[in-house]
Structure 1
Amino acid sequence: MDSRHPDLHPLYDEHLATLRQRADAALARGGFDHLVIPAGHPRYQFLDDRPYTFYVNPHFKHWVPSTKAPGSWIVYTPGRRPRLVFLQPHDYWHAVPEAPAGYWVEHFEIVVIREPAEARAHLPADPARCAILGEAEWAVADAVPNNPRAVLDHLHYHRAFKTAYELAMMRVASRIGVRAHRAAEAAFRAGESEFGIHMAYVAAARQTEADLPYSNIIALNEHAAILHYTEFDHAPPAHPRSFLIDAGGSFHGYASDITRTYAAQRDGEFQALIDAVDRAQLGFCDGVRAGRDYRDLHVHAHHVLAGILREHGVIRMSAEAAVETGVSAVFFPHGLGHGIGLQVHEVAGFAAGEDGGTIARPEGHPYLRLTRVLAPGMVVTIEPGLYFIDMLLAELRKRPEAADIDWDRVAAFRPYGGIRIEDDVACTTEAPENLTRDAFAEAI
């Protein structure tokens, strides 16, 4: 999908109308007259003139598909056309942001400035009447971000419900990620190192590491047991056994988050374990239905994965006992998933409502990132896993339940590290839309 595709016009029109409605309600709730959103500024490394990678304020890119506009601002006043104060400096040291163009610009009053301080003249006169969303160091003069809780709670809660425009962006992000995943698998099959696989991914995605929504996880063999493994060995292992890749793509500020696991030996026991997790994962994806409590889906996943461990001879106890005693959490120590959209881990995963409040995690599941009841428009990840993590296994050996573990089976699977399979799934009024599987089907 090209950013100038004519079909984006009606989608963006509807999207902006939705944002304005939400902003109107949030400002009324907080008692403010204006919503002001800075894009943000680059940070510099300590004692150096090298900037860290700039990442735009997610509230900014919610309104405009511009992720590289540091020093710019959005001003929205109910009943008025939103204003974009766009910083386009005179600079021959760095690339200057291109002038705003495309399907969305007609909806904004656009003011171009040359110096960051010039923005103040185009912001509301009284900062006390403004809800300014951002970090304190992004202030210009007396326009200092105040992040009013009532405004943020309302906006964050409703951000879970994606517009048709946002879903279109996320479908493209999924296709970008899948294209790169295909290249990464091919590199693994060709015997590349973790670094080599990563480079194949970046080339196929046609996105730099800074453009990707998060740091790639490229894990061979035992490294797959490290949940957030972001180191890259430059030499391939002498005996490649397994490959876990957790990597996504970005499009107009929206993310995809995709994980796959591959066995070097396609007909071995580890492949059979991958296939079992894959079948289970598809069942969990089908559970992304309106009215389903995500906490219940997570606990259900524990029971199913414990059953897989039993079927494959890793545990001898029942699935129910494995969940009740916490044994299942040794092999599946993270949450089933999270919200996704403008951020990989979308905000308000625990929000009780638009007025704030928190929905607690289930007892014994401290790493679950989403506790809300699913509703149409929500997009969530479904990422079950089974791992053989030395630290957790060592702790399990000290417990009474150790007698119900086949440690020879554990030793056999340990060199493979672990398995994770992750899709991005949209909850609809009918059957779930699996953005990831659809993208893989298109890529064949």
Structure 2
Amino acid sequence: MAIQDLANAYPQHIAELQRHSTLALERGGCDHLVVPSGTLHYQVFDDRDYPYAVNPQFKAWAPLTRAPGSWLVFTPGQKPRLIYLQPFDYWHVVPEAPAGYWVDQFDIVIIRKPDEALQHLPGNPARCAILGEPQSALGDFVPDNPAAVVNYLEYHRAFKTPYEILMMREATRVGVRAHRAAEVAFRAGKSEFDIHMAYCSAARQDANELPYHNIVALNEHGAVLHYTELDTVAPAEIRSFLIDAGGSFGGYASDITRTYAFDRDSEFQSLIAAVDAAQLAMCAEVRAGFDYRQLHLGAHLKLAGVLKDFGIIDLSPEAALETGVSNAFFPHGIGHGIGLQVHDVAGFAASDAGGVIPRPEGQPFLRTTRTLEAGMVMTIEPGIYFIDMLLDEVRKGAHARSVNWDRVAQFRPYGGVRIEDDVVCTDADPINLTRDEFAATA
């Protein structure tokens, strides 16, 4: 990606943020938007700090992820102000002065001590919407996160600007490059820890820079949805590999999952291929006007069809969904919004004024219930798993005979299958950021 592309797209992104922020401030009866970047947190009874995580409301404006103690101020009708902390510090690397394609959009003030920000913040904190966490308080500037302002901004964050899509493409490029390295390590018989290290090396990002903790699961560990243990010794027999890992770029995230069979001619590989085909059909449904709840319920029907085709259940897809049997094999939601956060905000928002769109009955883990609109970026991540505690409940229940337990026992040593892509909803065909990048690096 050319930096010039970002430079060309960024002014429109900032203009859109200013437009939304102006309307949000009107909703909240405020004159100024004040956003701290966040501060370091220290562990209790210790002098060690937790990894710093920038305030998402701050990095929405500027591609700064390592600027604790800084502030963003927006007053309608005025150029946004960036108060940038560049401390005198011989213990740590001091952040470089702001530079690049984005700086012309701000009035930038450099401060050397955190308290110096006060002279550059608005005069009356009571007229400000201050968005952040309590630890970011400075003098009378205490984050209050007024609901009317936050609801409006978070609702509209679902719609990505062209600049944000470019940033997410680059985050995807980082993730796909690392996924390819992880598969090579898996094929070489490496342990989960060694595969994780190969991933980080290829991404050129460590665990604190990646958008979330890598899920690197061999064999039965693929049945643990958020498996992050990272065994340091490879199992005696390697059968399968599930990796859920992303990449970061300028504060934006990608979220990618792939599953592999060590034996490419195995029946488990056939199951992977069937889930992959179903997943592509789901990705094609990311269309403006489509209810994401229906996409989730449709995923259950498609996956139940796969289970029936493989002789794992003896129910129609509709009956598997109605009885809850499909939930035992696919217990999570079909996906979520993604962008500045891996699980992006306002997935249940009824409008930019607030309110909640409920989940479908019997589907407690779906993270988004909104109707899709152009500009949204969603993950699509169906899965089929062989999870003992969920299947034991089916075995004890009224539908035990609908499951072929011998077939479950055959697939159980492989853990499960999950395939996940990041997909842009448009006014026409969806754009699959993940598949595009895998195809470009084939």
TM-score (norm. length: structure 1): 0.99
Give the AA of the match of 2:242.
L
AA at the equivalent of 1:409? R
What amino acid does structure 1 have at the position aligned with 2:236?
Answer: A
Equivalent positions of 1:19-98 (< 5 A) are 19-98=17-96
Instruction: Name the counterpart of 2:289.
Output: 291
1:108 to 101, 106, 109: 106
Whether 1:258 aligns to 2:238 is no
Distance in 2 of aligned mates of 1:27 and 1:10: 27
Match of 1:198, as an amino acid? Answer: H
Structure 2 Cα separation of the partners of residues 96 and 170 of structure 1: 27
CA distance in 2, matches of 1:180, 1:136: 36
Aligned mate of 1:241, from 204, 220, 239: 239
* Cα distance in 1, alignment partners of residues 89 and 260 from structure 2: 47
CA shift, 1:45, in A, is 1.1
User: Which structure 1 residue ranges, 4+ long, deviate > 4 Å from structure 2?
Assistant: none
**Equivalent position of 1:346 in the other structure:** 344
Equivalent position SS for 2:13: helix
- How far off is 1:424 after superposition? 0.1
Shift of the alpha carbon at 1:80?
0.3
Identity of aligned residues (%): 66
Offset of residue 350 of structure 1:
0.2
Match of 1:313 among 304, 311, 314: 311
In 2, distance between residues paired with 1:277 and 1:405?
Answer: 19
Structure 1 letter corresponding to 2:160: K
CA-CA distance at 1:129 after TM superposition = 0.2
Structure 1: how far apart are the matches of 2:5 and 2:406?
Answer: 57
User: In structure 1, what residue type is equivalent to 2:407?
Assistant: R
Match of 2:387 in 1: 389
**1:404-419 paired onto structure 2 within 5 Å:** 404-419=402-417
- Note if 1:332 corresponds to 2:314: no
- Are residues 1:199 and 2:197 paired? yes
Query: One-letter code of the match for 1:102?
Result: G
> 2:216 is matched with which residue?
218
| CA shift for structure 1 position 120 | 1.0
* Aligned-pair CA distance for 1:82: 0.6
Partners of 2:31 and 2:402 in 1: how far apart?
A: 63
Within-5 A mapping of 1:111-126: 111-126=109-124
Partner SS state of residue 399, structure 2: helix
Structure 2 unaligned segments of length 5 or more: list them: none
Structure 1 residue 74: Cα displacement: 0.3
Return the letter of the residue paired with 1:433: I
- CA shift at 1:118, angstroms? 1.1
Please state how far the C-alpha of 1:189 moved relative to its aligned partner.
0.1
Residues 103-138 of structure 1 show CA distances to partners (whole Å, capped at 9, x for unaligned) of 111111111111111111111111110000001111
1:187 aligned partner: 185
The residue type paired with residue 297 of structure 1 is L
Q: Which amino acid aligns with 2:336?
A: H
Which one is further off, 116-125 or 238-247? 116-125
Shift of 1:7: 2.2
One-letter amino acid of the structure 1 residue matched with residue 208 of structure 2? A
2:145: which partner in 1?
147
Secondary structure of 1:408's aligned partner:
helix
Per-residue deviation, residues 357-395 of structure 1 (Å, max 9, x unmatched)? 000000000000000000000000000000000110111
Deviation at 1:290, TM superposition (A): 0.3
The C-alpha deviation readout for 1:167-210, integer Å capped at 9, x for no partner, is: 00000100110000000000000000000000000000001111
Structure 1 residue 318 displacement after superposition: 1.1
1:217-243: per-residue Cα shift (whole Å, max 9, x none)? Answer: 000000000000001100000000000
The amino acid of 2:24's aligned partner reads: A
1:71-118 CA-to-partner distances (Å, cap 9, x unmatched) read 000000000011000000000001111100001111111111111111
Partner of 1:279: 277
1:255-311 deviations in whole A, cap 9, x for unaligned? 000000000111111011000000000000000000000000000000010011000
CA RMSD of aligned residues (A): 0.6
Aligned to 2:364: 366
Q: Extract unaligned runs of 5+ from structure 1.
A: none
Amino acid at match of 2:401: A
Amino acid in structure 1 at the alignment position of 2:107: E
SS at match of 1:111: strand
Out of 169, 172, 176, the position equivalent to 1:171 is 169
1:9-28 superposed Cα distances (whole Å, 9 cap, x missing partner)? 22000000000000000001
Could you tell me how far apart the structure 2 residues matched to 1:366 and 1:385 are?
16
- 2: distance between equivalents of 1:83 and 1:407? 63
Instruction: Give the residue type in structure 1 aligned to 2:100.
Output: G
CA–CA distance in structure 2, aligned partners of residues 397 and 90 of structure 1: 64
How far apart, in 1, do the equivalents of 2:358 and 2:50 lie?
35
Structure 2 letter corresponding to 1:69: A
The 1-side partners of 2:418 and 2:107 are apart by: 46
Distance in structure 1 (CA, Å) of the matches to 2:5 and 2:271: 43
Q: Aligned AA for 2:59? A: K
CA distance in 1, matches of 2:307, 2:206: 39
- Most deviating of 8-17 and 182-191: 8-17
* Residue 11 (1) aligns with residue 14 (2): no
1:367 partner amino acid: F
Q: Distance in 2 between matches of 1:105 and 1:404?
A: 62
Whole-Å separation in 1 of the counterparts to 2:178 and 2:4: 27
Note the alpha carbon deviations across 1:394-427, whole angstroms, 9 max, x for none: 1111111001110000000000000000000000
Task: Kindly tell me the number of residue pairs found equivalent between the two proteins.
Answer: 442
Which digits, 9 at most, give the CA deviation of each residue in 1:302-326, with x for residues without a partner? 0010011000000011111100000
Give the aligned residue type for 1:61: K
